[in-house]
């Protein structure tokens, strides 16, 4: 009888981390949740495929090089954005030591397996995003049938480059900062990576014109610093182009060389830093620092006793839910890793909307986009509440059911008000301040009033679907939820309508009557939604 072949450790690790990424860490309720996750993933891929139609529409007027560069710009922004949002949670899982136990797994093996899973997940999204572009690329100038395999290869290389770049940055910071500082900077670092990827993806379609790309030999040298340009040149070199191949060799070589060097540095050269950093991150940090005798959270307890929070949080249940949510927003590493990179695009995109217009006066194009850009932030409280509903400590939420609470709505309102006070309103003020400084006018302050009326109403949407309790769901339920995608799409539609109407009324000179009508409608919607939530039953905890 022949013994069964033992699979190599790298394959086992890849399978394990792939299941952790898609199935989550909790085996319970798999039958009930599997279909929902599959539908959510399918809807996400469908949305990516629809978004990919936009760059594909320019195929007939572009040559293969410029078209492939723009495709890679969109891919770098969207697919790599999702990659950056999931990287921190995948690379630094607290339960990892319990899973691996004493098994002889080296840090380099773990890192390679995680990089392969992250790059594979991003490639899945990238293929959906590029589906229309791969087909339309055959109609670009100079392209041959080789464009399809060339673009598939370059897209896979781009995702590997993105994953390796993220891991490289983490390893460098682990080596330089150590556990104490890195634990606090991890969410900030991941949000910065999201910001840089959005910047790089936006530069390609906005600043790089097709005519410039057709004459690369006459273009300024800063274009060679854009990664989408490298991989677009690789497409053109392998799949055919009207450009001189001599002008494509340098950026194409940069694509291959940068991917190889980044992967080597991230996975091999600095792999030991990841192993040591992971060990330190998983060690207990329960020993308090010397001199820290005062309990944490005193500033928050004092803050909620001051006006206007004291007036806004008269209900004691809401007040304590506010304090609990704020503490998790500020201190909990797992929540920060999921939340801040996830909402980073919502903070950046409104600024892109305004800066794309001309810097005119009160009637400039940029000013006409202000109301829509501020209303775009209506998705921020919903996105934050979606993340705050999930936590690695979700089993502790059974305490809410044992406490003498008449209903779940005070817990929801306390968390909702924390999101508005700590995240949404400060971001709105910052955005309006930047717009006023750029426009040299107070008009953006007036155009932010429709968003100020809309935000409290949109923050109630999460509580209309079902019973909402803070930190009550396992973390894997964040991913691939069809209802979450539909809610976000509906919220974006409402925000776009209100922002568009506000801009139109400002242009026509009827902004004040519009603001009065919106205030009445938002007040009615607010009280109606609160009434509907009170009718939602207080469901007992599942065993």
What's the whole-number mean pLDDT along residues 421-449?
Answer: 83
Q: Is residue 424 part of a domain?
A: yes
What's the whole-number mean pLDDT along residues 133-143?
Answer: 86
Q: State residue 36's pLDDT score.
A: 57
Q: State residue 360's pLDDT score.
A: 43
Q: Is residue 291 part of a domain?
A: no
Least confident of 17-26, 275-284, 510-519: 275-284
Q: Which residues pair with 473 in a beta bridge?
A: 390
Q: Which residue has the higher pLDDT, 54 or 505?
A: 505
Q: Is residue 251 part of a domain?
A: yes
Q: What is the mean pLDDT of the chain?
A: 75
- Output the CA–CA distances (angstroms, integers) from residue 203 to 73, 255, 306, 438, in the order listed: 8, 18, 45, 20
Q: State residue 413's pLDDT score.
A: 92
Sign of CA dihedral 91, 94, 97, 100: negative
**What 3-state class would DSSP assign to 141?**
strand
What's the distance, CA 34 to chain centroid?
23
My answer on whether omega of the bond before 308 falls inside 30° of 0, hence cis, is yes
Domain range enclosing 495: 304-534
Residues 511, 399: one domain? Answer: yes
462 — pLDDT class (breaks 50, 70, 90): confident
Q: Which residue carries 């010397």 as its tokens?
A: 290
Residues 226, 355: one domain? Answer: no
What's the distance, CA 511 to chain centroid?
34
Residues 267, 312: one domain? Answer: no
Q: Is residue 510 part of a domain?
A: yes
What's the whole-number mean pLDDT along residues 524-543?
Answer: 80
Q: Is residue 151 part of a domain?
A: yes
- CA–CA dist 280, 276 (Å, integer): 6
- Output the CA–CA distances (angstroms, integers) from residue 315 to 244, 304, 409, 434, in the order listed: 71, 12, 11, 35
Q: Is residue 13 part of a domain?
A: yes
Which of 282, 312, 344 delimits the end of a domain? Answer: 282
Q: Is residue 207 part of a domain?
A: yes
Residues 168, 91: one domain? Answer: yes
Residues 375, 484: one domain? Answer: yes
**pTM score, two decimals?**
0.66
**Best CA proximity match to 372, nearest among 459, 461, 488, 502:** 502
Residues 106, 170: one domain? Answer: yes
Residues 242, 325: one domain? Answer: no
Which of 282, 317, 346 delimits the end of a domain? Answer: 282
Residues 274, 308: one domain? Answer: no
Residues 123, 266: one domain? Answer: yes
Residues 241, 188: one domain? Answer: yes
412 — pLDDT class (breaks 50, 70, 90): very high
Q: Is residue 287 part of a domain?
A: no
Residues 443, 497: one domain? Answer: yes
Q: Which residues pair with 141 in a beta bridge?
A: 63
Residues 331, 269: one domain? Answer: no
- CA–CA dist 431, 350 (Å, integer): 8
Number of domains the chain contains: 2
């Amino acid at each position: 009888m022949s013994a069964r072949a033992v699979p190599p450790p790298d394959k086992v690790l890849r399978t394990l981390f792939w299941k952790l990424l898609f199935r989550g860490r909790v085996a319970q309720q798999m039958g009930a949740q599997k279909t929902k996750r599959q539908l959510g993933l399918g809807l996400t891929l469908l949305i990516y495929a629809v978004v990919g139609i936009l760059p594909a529409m320019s195929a007939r007027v572009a040559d293969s090089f410029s078209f492939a560069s723009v495709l890679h710009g969109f891919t770098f922004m969207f697919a790599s954005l999702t990659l950056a949002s999931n990287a921190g949670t995948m690379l630094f899982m607290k339960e990892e030591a319990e899973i691996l136990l004493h098994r002889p797994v080296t840090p380099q093996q773990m890192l390679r397996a995680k990089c392969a899973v992250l790059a594979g997940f991003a490639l899945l999204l990238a293929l959906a995003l590029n589906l229309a572009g791969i087909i339309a690329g055959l109609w670009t100038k100079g392209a041959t049938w080789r464009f399809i395999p060339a673009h598939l290869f370059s897209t896979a290389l781009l995702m590997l480059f993105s994953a390796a770049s993220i891991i490289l940055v983490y390893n460098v910071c682990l080596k330089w900062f150590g556990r104490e500082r890195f634990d606090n900077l991890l969410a900030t670092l991941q949000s910065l990576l999201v910001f840089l990827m959005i910047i790089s993806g936006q530069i390609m379609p906005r600043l790089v014109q097709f005519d410039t790309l057709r004459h690369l030999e006459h273009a300024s040298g800063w274009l060679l610093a854009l990664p989408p340009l490298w991989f677009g040149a690789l497409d053109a070199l392998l799949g055919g182009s009207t450009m001189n191949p001599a002008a494509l060799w340098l950026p194409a070589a940069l694509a291959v060389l940068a991917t190889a060097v980044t992967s080597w540095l991230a996975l091999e050269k600095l792999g030991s830093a990841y192993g040591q950093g992971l060990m330190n991150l998983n060690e207990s940090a329960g020993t308090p620092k010397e001199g820290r005798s005062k309990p944490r959270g005193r500033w928050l307890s004092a803050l909620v006793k001051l006006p206007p929070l004291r007036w806004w949080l008269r209900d004691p249940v809401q007040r304590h839910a506010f304090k609990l949510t704020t503490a998790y927003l500020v201190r909990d590493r797992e929540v920060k890793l999921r939340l801040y990179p996830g909402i980073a695009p919502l903070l950046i995109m409104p600024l892109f909307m305004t800066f794309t217009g001309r810097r005119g006066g009160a009637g400039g194009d940029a000013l006409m986009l202000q109301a829509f850009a501020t209303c775009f932030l209506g998705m921020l409280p919903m996105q934050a509440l979606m993340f705050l509903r999930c936590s690695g400590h979700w089993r502790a939420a059974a305490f809410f059911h044992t406490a003498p609470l008449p209903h779940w709505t005070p817990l929801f309102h306390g968390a909702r008000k924390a999101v508005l006070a700590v995240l949404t309103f400060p971001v709105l003020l910052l955005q309006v301040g930047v717009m006023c400084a750029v426009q040299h006018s107070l008009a953006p302050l007036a155009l932010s009033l429709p968003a100020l009326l809309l935000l409290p109403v949109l923050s109630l949407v999460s509580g209309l679907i079902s019973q909402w309790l803070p930190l009550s769901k396992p973390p894997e339920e964040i991913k691939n939820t069809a209802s979450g995608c539909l809610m976000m799409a509906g919220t974006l539609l409402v925000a776009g309508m209100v922002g568009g109407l506000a801009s139109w009324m400002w242009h026509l000179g009827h902004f004040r009557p519009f603001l009065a009508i919106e205030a009445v409608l938002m007040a009615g919607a607010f009280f109606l939604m609160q009434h509907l939530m009170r009718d939602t039953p207080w469901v007992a905890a599942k065993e």
